[in-house]
Structure formats: C-alpha cells, structure tokens
C-alpha cells in the first residue's frame, strides 16, 4: 500500500465528498494524507489468512413498527430549522434542467 497521494487524488476525493479544497491547501492536504496513509499502511505488514470475517452472535434487531406519532407532532420544530420553505415544504433548487 505504498500509495503516494497526489494533488489530483485530493481533488478527486474532495469532489466525491462534495467539499472544495482551495488550490493553496491541496499540497498540504496531500502531504498530510501521505503521512497518515504511511502510518495506516502498517496494516500491510499483517498477513492474514484469506478467510471470511469471524461472525459474531450479535444480530440486527429491529423494533416492531408501531406507536407512531400523531401527524404534525414534530412538524413545526423541524420545519422551523429549514433554511427556506413554502408553507410546510422544504424549498430546494431544481435538480433537472431542461434548457
């Protein structure tokens, strides 16, 4: 795992994560990334048998779908936090453009 993080890698990850890393910070991010990956790369020394993961006895437990809140109980508290709204609806930009 001797990956060398490049400025291009950081740009690509930033775009996947939907954040903007300013041009002047790209190099330092890449350098920090290298030192973190070098440290994490210690895992490479560990030779593991090519087996499946050990399954624990812990199971996923879901509760019964019941005891719903009366409609509107939380509406005001939640819609009050909306940055933009029309009535009780959240306003967002169009996601499809036809022009």
Partner 1 sequence: MTKLLNELSIVEAARGLRAKEFSVRELWDACANAAKEKNPALNAYLELFDAGEEAIAAAQTRIDTEGEQAPLLCGIPIAMKDNILIKGHIASASSKMLANYTATYDATITKKLKEAGVLFVGRTNMDEFAMGSSTEHSAYGTTKNPLDVSRVPGGSSGGSSAAASAHTALAALGTDTGGSIRQPAAHTGLVGMKPTYGAISRSGLIALGSSLDQAGPLAKTVADAKILYDVMKGKDILDATTISSDTYPVRETGTHMRIGVPRHLLTEGLDADVLARFEETLEALKSAGHTVHDIELPTSGYALPVYYVIMPAESSANLARFDGMRYGLAERGASLLEDYVKSKTAGFGAETIRRILLGTFVLSSGYIDAYYRKAEKVRDILRAEYTSAFDVCDVIAFPTTPSPAFKFGEKSDPVSMYLEDVFTVTANLTGMPAISVPMGNVERDGTSLPTGIHFTAPHGADDVLFKIGALVTGETL
- For the CB of residue 77, give the shortest distance to partner 1 in the complex, in Å: 4
Which of 27, 32, 88, 89 is close enough to bind partner 1 by CB under 8 A? 32
48 binds partner 1 (CB under 8 A): yes
Among left, alpha and beta (phi > 0; psi -120 to 50; other), residue 72 is left
Dist CA 24 CA 41 (whole Å)? 27
- For the CB of residue 92, give the shortest distance to partner 1 in the complex, in Å: 6
DSSP state of 95: S
Beta partners for residue 90, in sequence order: 85
26 binds partner 1 (CB under 8 A): no
* Coil, strand or helix at 60: coil
Dist CA 19 CA 39 (whole Å)? 25
In the complex, the residues that contact partner 1 under the rule CB under 8 A are 1, 3, 9-10, 13-14, 16-21, 25, 29, 32-33, 35-36, 39-44, 46, 48, 53-54, 60-63, 74, 77-78, 80-84, 90, 92-95
């Amino acid at each position: 795992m001797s990956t060398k993080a490049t400025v291009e890698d950081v740009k690509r990850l930033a775009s996947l994560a939907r954040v903007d890393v300013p041009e002047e910070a790209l190099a330092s991010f890449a350098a920090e990334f290298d030192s973190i990956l070098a440290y994490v790369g210690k895992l490479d020394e560990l030779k593991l048998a090519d087996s499946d993961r050990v399954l624990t006895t812990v199971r996923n437990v879901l509760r019964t779908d019941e005891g719903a809140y009366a409609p509107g109980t939380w509406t005001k508290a939640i819609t009050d936090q909306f940055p933009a709204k029309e009535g009780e609806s959240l306003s967002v930009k169009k996601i499809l453009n036809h022009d």
